Structure 1
Amino acid sequence: MLHSLFTHDCVPAFDNNTIVKFADDTTVIGLITNGDETNYRAEVQNLADWCSRNNLSLNTSKTKELIIDFRRSQNGEYAPISIYGDSVERVSSFKFLGTHISEDLPWSTNTVALVKKAQQRLFFLRTLKRTGLPQQLLTTFYRCTTESILTYGISVWYLSCMEAERRALQRVVHRAQQIIGTPLPALEGIYHTQCLRKAASIHKDSSHHCPEVKCVWDWPRLGLGCPLDKEPTECGRWEELHGNQRPTAAAWTGTPSQGQSQCEAGDGLKDPFTGSVVK
């Protein structure tokens, strides 16, 4: 808390940059347009200057730079970032707040790490099973120590995983089911529920940075249908983005009025697995 208060004035100086702070970790995210890195490099320098003014030191040896560039034509190599005269190491993958991110955004590294860590937790689950721990407590232990690992950030990476990677993750759940002897929630169902819960919070937040497009769904792959608990004509307009065929994506559009979401109070999103409304 004290660190957060101390660093509250460490904010980006340019609109196309973002500074993400978590405890004592700080990340600068820059959007480079037309090859112009001026604002990005100036932001890094501003951060270094801010640290100097506030008697903080940046550990350059632990600072990493990751470039994500999907342009078909890339203009050669990027010049390295320099802090206090030391060049920052450029990496192809690094661990950001517990999630492994790679430069071309595959999730293989993250999946392998999650499976390995979750399998280690199964050893303790087997040990507790042998001691005769009741099934209910075994389930609670699994959800706290294993499921929490498998589902960390799942709304970000699950849909982009390869099918083989999803099966590897689900196999850990199946092994836990065999140990405990009771059905456990599938990862796909947890993914759907977390996405709907996040979408519901966006619906309620009139200050969200993207107020005109509230949620985008890949209907056939997610199997969600219309996630609103009212018909689209009652609370907004569904806009097909891909022609007149069954849409592969749809966006709910509307303009919040008087600080409220377009949907009336009490409305929410339906969970396609349970039928309940997520608010």
Structure 2
Amino acid sequence: MKKQARVAIQGIKASFHEEAAFKFFGRDIQTIECDSFKRTCEHLEKGDADFVVMAIENSIAGSLLPNYTLIREYNFAVVGEVYLPIQLHLLALPGVKFEDVKTVTSHPIAIRQCVDFFDEFPHLKVVESVDTAACAKRIRDEQLTDTVAIANMLAAELYGLNVLERRIESNKKNFTRFLILQKEKSDLNKDINKASICFQVGNTAGALARVLNIFAENEVNLTKIQSMPVLGKRNEYYFYVDMEWKNLEKYENAIRRTLKFTVNFNIMGEYQKNDKV
């Protein structure tokens, strides 16, 4: 009998992190609920989880910068990625009508992504909470008849709520990218065509451009560059770069050449591109 993968997520069941985990692994997994991203890393570090699913960027809110630091500090391996469309619905107890509603509750980012909807209903009191799914669960647990949650369809199914309004997000092309983390690097994934790396360069004119040109010369496409200050060091930065390629040999050549011009170079993970939304 195949052992269920233990996947640590930030949030509770039916959160967007669990939805992302289901999309990557399928539903036959054991979800480990965590109240913070750091806690997910602690579970993986101790061996209580096999994987972590961690949000790394949103097409509207941008990058989750502290998560880059967590991945680097724990030295976890990025073994995959998954893109999830963020579809937000207004959820209520069965029988509740929209005219009964006085309060809307959700995660602050989810609330900000629905501003156009709330502009039409200024009488609604908006209350921020730590997790979209937790808001839905609270409505079910406390049988709140004057409160609705903004959450996903998974939360509606799990907590037995009705959908009062579908797709209330302002931008219908909103998505979040999640990384799949493992404690150790794995050689099982042979069909790699994407990588996430981290490095520093000297504080001299053209130092970063020289490194980026090496990738360009080897036809390696840089899909993202993110800089983060080195804690306690003035004018020193970590550069986090995502890249993809068609020719593995050219990518490996680019990596070898790059080592000469960087310090604290780290391949955080090599994996298969998975950008279908």
Which category describes the TM-score, using the shorter chain as reference length?
under 0.3
Instruction: Write 1 or 2 for the structure with the bigger share of strand.
Output: 2
Instruction: Write 1 or 2 for the structure with the bigger share of helix.
Output: 1
TM-score normalised per structure 1: 0.21
Q: Quick one: higher RCO (CA 8 Å, sep 6+), 1 or 2?
A: 2
